[in-house]
Structure 1
Amino acid sequence: MKSFLKVFVIAFVCFTLLLGGGVLAFLKMSGESNDPEVEPIQPDDIVVSPGPEGKEVKEKSELEQLVEKSKRINVLLMGLEGTRTDTIVLASFDPKDKKVDLVSIPRDTYYHIKGYDALDQKKINAVYGHSKSKGGGPEGVMQVASNVLKVPIHHYVTLSYKGVEQIVDSLGGVKVTIPFDMDYTDRYDNPPLRIDLKKGTRVLNGKDSVKFLRHRQNNDGSHSEGDLGRIKRQQQFLKAAAKKALSFRLPAVANTAFKFVKTNMELDDIIYYAKSAIGISTDDIETYRLPGKASNTKGASYYIHDPNATEELMVKIYKRGLED
């Protein structure tokens, strides 16, 4: 196993801190904040049709109309493994109705950018490592994710694996149900990795949480669900971490988390979103996975997303607050 970890725990905790009240510690530094104006990254493929006098007029889909009317803020959470994104999650936050929707994007999602033609470069997790002049870095991943999901993305948060243990420990651990005995050894990892977690419900400290989120399969090949299996465990961990974090003394956690977080949010943005998110509960949080299926048809192992089902999912998300 060469992947250092799934940093979903950081993604969730930092999302909670940025949008859920942990940054309220900063309110002492600032007065009331107005609704921040941000320039979101938009999908770059626009359908047009002839309009009056031959002018091209954009045809607005149902999703585009919903986006236009919505006040949702979309934040892309990226857990980094060197120059690749080991975890990609869209956090869509409705400040009016206090709804949070998290869409996990499998790191093996197929996405080909001209000039990056090697098999392993045709995956969404490789975009971060492209040169910035050719659409790499966090902004490049934002653009690609926006194209895949067909919605604008306003901010990004990148997260280093180095803070995982400290952040989880600052929360006092997270209670999860381990679905099966996890038994894995990687002597070639640096440092060598040993995962030995028994089936059952328990509170995991930072070190064991990392192991729980890193697990791909056992030494004997059992429970080899790959990235999709880990997404299921991430989402279980998400709910558990949400329950703990939303009831925790978050300013103390913030002191640890912000050491390992990079974001394009300004302090005024963070304050505004945090204040808007006061009162959110775990019942307001929904988790999803990018629609699609695993495939080996393109010469390597990819996850091929379903554009139509993806658009239907985003319409459902954007309608969620409207239907309550």
Structure 2
Amino acid sequence: MGQFIKVFLISLLCFALTIGAGIYTYIRFFNPYDGENYTYVENPAWDKNFNEIEEDDLTPLEKAIRTSKRVNILVMGLEGLRSDTMMVVSFDRATANVNIIAIPRDTYFFREGYEAQGQKKVNAIYSASGAQGVMKVFENILKVPIHNFITIDYEGVRKSVDVIGGVEVDVPFHMEYEDPYDDPPLSINIPEGLQVLNGEKSLEYLRFRHNNDWTVGYPNGDLGRIEAQQKFIKNALKKTLSFRLPVILREIYPYIKTDLNLAEMLLLAGDAVNFSIEKLDTAMIPGYTTMIDGLSYYVHDPRLLGDMIDELYGVE
């Protein structure tokens, strides 16, 4: 699954917010949110009411969260019942800064009652607990509230890239890979060098980690792919700014599912007018890869992650 192109799409929605009510009129009349076929989150997963907690009982981070204008949105790219892509897009309404925090799909997270090997990875949570379950787990990992969610599928990824005429990428090596058992069967073949990738080739690029015999690929596996995809996002966003956003949104909106309603989008619209590519920052939760019971996991570092979140919220 082309992981970080989904970040491009959620950032694209932030861009779309800047162009006013025309976008929302389109969404309202041509693709209304009716609660069906969505993983609807009735209540925020974050259950702390800071108004009921004494100031002295709050941690420095909780004090910062209480006064912050940040909106944190979970973004997932779904592959069947599993969320192959997971990240949080944090938009500061006060400054129009956008921070994208990637959570590798192999991140270890133990849940009581889900003790099989594959169930200890965060990409298994969606199939068992839906969007709200993933939101709660990410709040547990990041220690911040997650306010909304967005999901997208393969076709939305292809459409988003094709509608802007492709994305320029400097492919670091010849990417070749075949998986006839994937659904649909996966075939990747992209030559090395600077080139413009269309939607289909972008999916291939974003999915690639190594060739079939493991002789060509990113030295650090999925983490290397994440770094490449973050560069892809910025290239895509730069190009997006030169296009008519209503046209783009019309093409991709049918493939996006979200619990953001029109009122919430309109509130964000007024705050996003000062957004620019220079205000976009991408990062990944710090940690390391390791083998646990014969399976590879990514284990996050709570101390370093805490430092990252403190910096995000301006905690000294």
Q: TM-score range by the shorter chain?
A: 0.7 to 0.9
Letter in 2 for 1:219: N
Q: CA deviation at 1:58?
A: 7.7
- Asked whether 1:42 is paired with 2:46, we answer yes
Cα separation, partners in 2 of 1:11 and 1:118, compared to 1, 3 Å: same
Q: Who is 1:316 aligned against?
A: 311
Q: Who is 1:48 aligned against?
A: none
Q: CA deviation at 1:247?
A: 2.9
> Hey, what's the Cα distance between the residues in 1 that align with 2:74 and 2:266?
18
SS of residue paired to 2:114: coil
Q: CA deviation at 1:43?
A: 7.2
> Hey, what's the Cα distance between the residues in 1 that align with 2:107 and 2:201?
28
Cα separation, partners in 2 of 1:196 and 1:28, compared to 1, 3 Å: closer
CA offsets 1:90-115 (integer angstroms, 9 cap, x no match)? 10001111111000000011111111
Q: Who is 1:147 aligned against?
A: 140
Scaled by the length of structure 2, the TM-score of the pair is: 0.86
> Hey, what's the Cα distance between the residues in 2 that align with 1:190 and 1:152?
35
**Is the CA contact 2:209–2:221 (under 8 Å) kept in the aligned structure 1?**
yes
> Hey, what's the Cα distance between the residues in 2 that align with 1:143 and 1:191?
31
Q: CA deviation at 1:146?
A: 0.8
Q: CA deviation at 1:176?
A: 1.6
Q: Who is 2:98 aligned against?
A: 100
> Hey, what's the Cα distance between the residues in 1 that align with 2:245 and 2:26?
17
Question: Which residue of 173, 177, 198 maps to 2:170?
Answer: 177
Letter in 2 for 1:113: R
Question: Which residue of 114, 121, 124 maps to 2:122?
Answer: 124
**Equivalent residue runs for 1:217-228 within 5 Å:** 217-221=210-214, 222-224=216-218, 225-228=220-223
**Equivalent residue runs for 1:69-80 within 5 Å:** 69-80=67-78
Letter in 2 for 1:26: I
Q: Who is 1:235 aligned against?
A: 230
**Is the CA contact 2:5–2:157 (under 8 Å) kept in the aligned structure 1?**
yes
Q: CA deviation at 1:64?
A: 1.5
> Hey, what's the Cα distance between the residues in 1 that align with 2:19 and 2:43?
22
CA offsets 1:262-293 (integer angstroms, 9 cap, x no match)? 11111111122133112311110000001110
Cα separation, partners in 2 of 1:275 and 1:298, compared to 1, 3 Å: farther
- Asked whether 1:216 is paired with 2:227, we answer no
**Is the CA contact 1:213–1:234 (under 8 Å) kept in the aligned structure 2?**
yes
> Hey, what's the Cα distance between the residues in 2 that align with 1:298 and 1:72?
39
Question: Which residue of 151, 169, 180 maps to 1:158?
Answer: 151
**Is the CA contact 1:76–1:153 (under 8 Å) kept in the aligned structure 2?**
yes
Cα separation, partners in 2 of 1:21 and 1:171, compared to 1, 3 Å: farther
SS of residue paired to 1:296: strand
Q: CA deviation at 1:193?
A: 2.3
Q: Who is 1:193 aligned against?
A: 186
> Hey, what's the Cα distance between the residues in 2 that align with 1:194 and 1:59?
55
**Equivalent residue runs for 1:25-64 within 5 Å:** 25-27=22-24, 40-42=44-46, 59-64=57-62
Q: Who is 1:9 aligned against?
A: 5
Q: Who is 1:33 aligned against?
A: none
- Asked whether 1:83 is paired with 2:113, we answer no
> Hey, what's the Cα distance between the residues in 2 that align with 1:22 and 1:169?
22
Q: Who is 2:107 aligned against?
A: 109
SS of residue paired to 1:152: coil
Scaled by the length of structure 1, the TM-score of the pair is: 0.84
Q: CA deviation at 1:7?
A: 3.8
Q: Which runs of 5+ in 2 are unaligned?
A: 28-41
How many residue pairs get aligned? The number is 296
Q: CA deviation at 1:121?
A: 0.2
> Hey, what's the Cα distance between the residues in 2 that align with 1:57 and 1:122?
36
> Hey, what's the Cα distance between the residues in 1 that align with 2:176 and 2:151?
30
Cα separation, partners in 2 of 1:181 and 1:41, compared to 1, 3 Å: same
Q: Indicate the percent of aligned positions where both proteins have the same amino acid.
A: 41
- Asked whether 1:244 is paired with 2:239, we answer yes
Q: CA deviation at 1:220?
A: 3.2
Q: CA deviation at 1:191?
A: 3.5
Question: Which residue of 255, 259, 262 maps to 1:264?
Answer: 259
**Is the CA contact 1:159–1:262 (under 8 Å) kept in the aligned structure 2?**
yes
Q: Who is 2:33 aligned against?
A: none
